[in-house]
């Protein structure tokens, strides 16, 4: 019998609609896979065993009655654990929210449920999305299915490990500075950060409100586009939501797969791994990036080099802006309204309760960023640090705008290295932050960017990043799909088919 955990979402939707498989069969196959493999991977924090089967049964019964269902009804999905989900444990990877059952659901969770998808569970993550390795979770590390001694990226590492390890056909991640694209890159997946404001943030536990954006993590470009069209679009509950329609993402992915990129101008960003900017980049990553650019040229794209000097300042600017917003957002966790409450024995005043709760509830990286952000916003330092970082953000945005007057998309490696060994960067924050060197510029500018697999280096996946102007997400999907199709055809199979055992075993 065909292993249902290895079938793409698009094909699963077709099989379900045709009645060739049932939603219960598909759901049970993934739950069985989770039970067999997640003890090694640590991808999930919570699994909806009985509830998932109940939801799948309801889909099958509705289909048997002849009810009109959405095309993806019955397809299982996993959600990163900062997506607020009604009556389902939601912790954001933090002890300070351990045991919290939200009384409402995030817009993207509601839209996925309305589409008939079946929630498998909530995935592990760096605490409050602060990290690049999923080692900062309060509930243990997640491991990369390609090599169990290496990280799956972060902060959406639970989602990347679940999808790459066939414990979910697709998943939601969130991206503040690269937390969809970087884990997708190091696990051989497709991960797309949508244009800021094009996917609702309502019900996402906030890290940095001007940067946070949810998006799809999937095994193919088409599957990512299918999810994006389900979750995207205007939401009146989110004041930053853009009131504009999505622009044919699925159609763009299908068109790109035809392999015709004639008339497209591609800009290779010099500052992201180009000549004179290779420090910290692994040779294998740069080689796979050059090969991907050559594939695009072979498909008819015109390739030129583009210089964006302010991109070199993206990392320090980000690590002032994001912690500053985090220090404000995380002030709500005070041990009074919800979550952990420490020192509540009658012998402490409110200030002590708040201090003890935060001491016990927040992990080291969260504390580091709160302190950094509070300092950057403090009197006498605001203009010197936070204000200057915002000026750099403006420069980066202007350089993107200038570049897109000459080219249609910009490309680069997604991350400078392949997945690094667990434990090697936990005591070196600067080295950890460097994992996001290539993803930060698009985040600061609020632009769409996608990571698509571009081969292996030393047996581990390499990601290739495509960036586009605001609301031109369709360009990302078109170019990524063209590269995906060409490279799969050249190797005769998909990259994930090279995933080694035991984590890759059926």
Task: Tell whether 266 is covered by a domain.
Answer: yes
**Residue 412 annotated as catalytic:** no
Q: Which of 22, 80, 92, 451 is catalytic?
A: 80
> Is 379 inside any structural domain?
no
CATH of the domain at 177: 3.90.1300.10
Give kind and range of the element (H or E) at residue 217: strand 213-218
Residue 395, domain member (yes or no):
no
155 is catalytic: yes
What is the rounded distance in angstroms from the CA atom of residue 386 to the CA atom of residue 208? 13
Residue 323 within a domain: no
Is the residue at 248 inside a domain? yes
Of the candidates 92, 137, 159, 179, the residue annotated as catalytic is: 179
Q: Please, are residues 481 and 464 in contact by the beta-carbon 8 Å criterion? A: no
**Total of domains in the chain:** 1
Longest dimension (CA), the chain: 73
In a domain, 150, yes or no: yes
| Assigned domain for 324 exists | no
Which residues constitute the domain of residue 104?
Answer: 4-271+282-308+402-498
> 458, 440 in Cβ contact below 8 A?
no
Across the beta sheet with 213-218, what order do the strands follow?
44-47, 118-123, 76-80, 170-175, 213-218, 190-193, 449-457, 460-467, 409-413, 265-269, 302-306
| 347 in active site | no
Per-residue pLDDT tens digits of the chain, which is 506 residues long: 689 999 999 999 999 999 999 999 999 999 999 999 999 999 999 999 999 999 999 999 999 999 999 999 999 999 999 999 999 999 999 999 999 999 999 999 999 999 999 999 999 999 999 999 999 999 999 999 999 999 999 999 999 999 999 999 999 999 999 999 999 999 999 999 999 999 999 999 999 999 999 999 999 999 999 999 999 999 999 999 999 888 799 999 999 999 999 999 999 999 999 989 999 999 999 999 999 999 999 999 999 999 999 999 999 999 999 999 999 999 999 887 788 888 777 677 788 888 888 999 999 999 999 999 999 999 888 999 999 999 999 999 999 999 999 999 999 999 999 999 999 999 999 999 999 999 999 999 999 999 999 999 999 999 999 999 999 999 999 999 999 999 999 999 999 999 986 544 44
Q: Catalytic one among 94, 155, 208, 451?
A: 155
Flag whether 450 is in a domain: yes
């Amino acid at each position: 019998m065909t292993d249902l955990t290895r079938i793409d979402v698009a094909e699963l939707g077709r099989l379900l609609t045709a009645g060739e498989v049932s939603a219960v069969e598909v759901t049970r196959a993934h739950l069985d896979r989770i039970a067999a493999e997640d003890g090694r991977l640590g991808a999930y924090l919570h699994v909806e065993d009985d509830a998932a089967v109940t939801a799948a049964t309801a889909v099958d019964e509705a289909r048997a009655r002849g009810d009109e269902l959405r095309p993806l009804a019955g397809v299982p999905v996993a959600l990163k654990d900062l997506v607020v989900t009604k009556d389902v444990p939601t912790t954001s990877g933090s002890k300070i929210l351990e045991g919290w059952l939200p009384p409402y659901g995030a817009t993207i969770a509601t839209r996925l449920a309305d589409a008939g998808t079946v929630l498998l569970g909530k995935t592990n993550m760096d605490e409050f999305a602060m990290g690049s390795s999923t080692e900062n979770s309060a509930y243990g590390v997640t491991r990369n299915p390609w090599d169990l001694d290496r990280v799956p990226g972060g902060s959406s590492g639970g989602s990347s490990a679940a999808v790459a390890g066939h414990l979910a056909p697709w998943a939601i991640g969130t991206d503040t500075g690269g937390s969809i694209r970087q884990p997708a890159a190091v696990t051989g997946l497709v991960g797309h950060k949508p244009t800021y404001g094009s996917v609702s943030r309502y019900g996402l536990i906030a890290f940095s409100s001007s940067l946070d954006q949810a998006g799809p993590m999937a095994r193919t470009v088409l599957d990512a586009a299918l999810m994006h069209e389900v979750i995207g679009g205007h939401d009146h509950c989110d004041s930053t939501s853009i009131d504009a329609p999505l622009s044919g993402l699925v159609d763009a992915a299908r068109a790109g797969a035809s392999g015709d990129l004639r008339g497209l101008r591609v800009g290779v960003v010099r500052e992201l791994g180009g000549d004179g900017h290779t420090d910290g980049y692994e040779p294998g990553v740069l080689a796979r990036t050059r090969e991907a650019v050559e594939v695009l040229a072979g498909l008819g794209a015109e390739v030129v080099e583009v210089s964006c000097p302010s991109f070199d300042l993206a990392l320090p600017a980000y690590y002032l802006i994001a912690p500053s917003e985090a220090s404000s957002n995380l002030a709500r966790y005070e041990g009074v309204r919800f979550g952990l409450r420490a020192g509540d024995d009658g012998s402490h005043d409110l200030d002590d309760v708040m201090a003890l709760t935060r001491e016990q509830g927040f992990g080291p990286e969260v504390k580091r960023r709160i302190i950094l952000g509070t300092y950057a916003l403090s009197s006498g330092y605001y203009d010197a640090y936070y204000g200057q970082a915002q000026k750099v953000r403006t420069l980066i945005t202007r350089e993107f705008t200038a570049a897109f007057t000459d080219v249609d998309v910009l490309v680069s490696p997604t991350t400078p290295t392949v997945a690094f060994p667990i434990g090697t960067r936990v005591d070196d924050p600067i080295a950890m932050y460097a994992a996001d060197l290539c993803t930060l510029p698009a985040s600061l500018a609020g632009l769409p960017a996608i990571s698509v697999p571009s081969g292996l280096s030393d047996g581990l996946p390499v990601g290739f990043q495509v960036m586009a102007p605001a609301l031109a997400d369709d360009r990302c999907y078109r170019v990524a799909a063209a590269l995906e199709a060409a490279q799969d055809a050249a190797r005769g199979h998909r990259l994930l088919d090279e995933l080694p055992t035991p984590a890759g075993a059926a």
